[in-house]
Amino acid sequence: MADPTSLRYGFRHEVQAYRYLGPALLLLGLLMVYPLFQVMRMSFFEISVRQESWVGLANYLQLARSPEFWQAFVQTVYFTTGSVLMHLVLGMGLALLLHTKINTQIRNFFRGFLIIPWLLAPTVAGMIWVLMLSPFGVLNGFLTTIGLLDPNATINWLGSPGTSLLSVTAMNVWRAFPFFMVMLLAGLQAIPEELYEAGAIDGTTPFQKFRYITMPSLQGVILTVVLLDFIWTFRAFDPVYVMTGGGPINSSQVLATSIYFDAFQKFKFGYASAEAVVMFLVLFAFSVVYVRRAVREIG
């Protein structure tokens, strides 16, 4: 043994590396990889309490013909793109406000307060909004006070098919915008001051500064947070489940809740697995883009 601390590439060190990784990889293999393959297998079976029988692609064919599935799919896309877009708009607006030349302590103070919605459990945030959006809740109360709403015709935001998905999306926008705000603010602060100084010499207008200096420098961060948020929102379960349960008449059903109800209320495990595989494939496509970027950055 020449040098006990050497960290060179060598068989003994590879063994040691895998010993340190062992517990983590074992847990993740058992509870991430194995279940994934199991769900894929289950999607080709019809599963009841006692037995499983091979049905080939029947679950997938049934899925393709199911209007409920397509409705949930379209609504998931609406919920996701709406959330991500509004997160970006709100997060960018607040990040730019916080990035102005204000006192650092005041900036941290505001950032600390504005981050609170993101700390709440989606269940807690959902409950606050259920309370605010109820027919006699504070939103309708506010709208009648300023004269926008007739006191005798209050809106049942969560209880009518026309507004249920919009309401859940609004809650989700509110709960998760701080993530964008924090990330974009950090991105803004990482832009070297010299770029703006050079711009000032060339006599740029504030809009040109934003368009030709800020945006290009921020592109990487924006793409990363948008991808992450898209993936996280697409798979979200809690907001819809606690606020509307997917109703009324499926008007706010998304894929995650639809899979849950098919599996645990209708006990169609095979069919729900097929649904889950479709959802996985969509997410996987986005994940590949994200993982490629992330790995390039880690190097």
- Taking alpha carbons only, the member of 91, 67, 69, 87 closest to residue 79 is 87
Minimum CB distance to another protein, residue 98 (Å): 7
Name which position in 92, 98, 158, 240 contacts another protein (CB under 8 A). Answer: 98
Does residue number 2 form part of the binding site for another protein (CB under 8 A)?
no
Cα 94 to Cα 114: distance, rounded to the nearest angstrom: 9
Window contacting another protein (CB under 8 A); options: 55-63, 66-74, 121-129, 192-200: 121-129
Cβ-based nearer residue to another protein, 161 or 192? 192
Does position 89 interact with another protein (CB under 8 A)? The reply is no
User: What residues numbered 181-220 form the site for another protein, per CB under 8 A?
Assistant: 182-183, 186-187, 190, 220
Sole binder of another protein in the list 1, 2, 116, 153 (CB under 8 A) = 116
Residue 237 touching another protein (CB under 8 A)? yes
Among 72, 86, 94, 165, the residue binding another protein under the rule CB under 8 A is 94
17 near another protein, judged by CB under 8 A: yes
265 forms part of the interface with another protein (CB under 8 A): no
Which span sits near another protein by CB under 8 A: 57-65, 80-88, 140-148, 193-201? 140-148
Window 46 to 65, contacts with another protein (CB under 8 A): none
Q: How far is the CB of 57 from another protein (least distance, A)?
A: 19
Six-digit token string for 160: 């009518």
CA separation for the pair 8, 21 (Å, rounded): 18
User: Closest CB to another protein among 194 and 297?
Assistant: 297
82 binds another protein (CB under 8 A): no
261 touches another protein by CB under 8 A: no
Give the one residue of 74, 85, 123, 219 binding another protein; rule: CB under 8 A: 123
Residues that contact another protein, how many (by CB under 8 A) = 108
The reply to whether 153 sits near another protein by the rule CB under 8 A is no
Q: What share of the chain is helix, strand, coil (3-state, %, to 5)?
A: 75, 0, 25
Which residue from 77, 88, 120, 155 is in contact with another protein, where contact means CB under 8 A? 120
Burial category of 163 from C-beta neighbours within 10 Å (exposed 0-12, middle 13-18, buried 19 and up): middle
- Cis peptide preceding 117, ω within 30 of 0: no
Identify which range of 56-64, 79-87, 201-209, 258-266 contacts another protein by CB under 8 A.
258-266
Establish if 42 lies at the interface with another protein (CB under 8 A).
yes
Nearer to another protein, 93 or 199 (CB): 93
Give the residue with the Cβ less far from another protein, 25 or 249: 25
CA 200 to chain centre: 38
Only one residue has tokens 């420098």, namely 217
Decide if residue 122 touches another protein (CB under 8 A). Answer: yes
Supply angle C-alpha 234, 237, 242, rounded to 5. Answer: 140
Exposed e or buried b per residue across 56-91, where buried means at least 16 C-beta atoms within 10 angstroms of its C-beta: eeebbebbeebeebebbbebbeebbebbbebbbebb
Rounded CA separation 160/251 (Å): 8
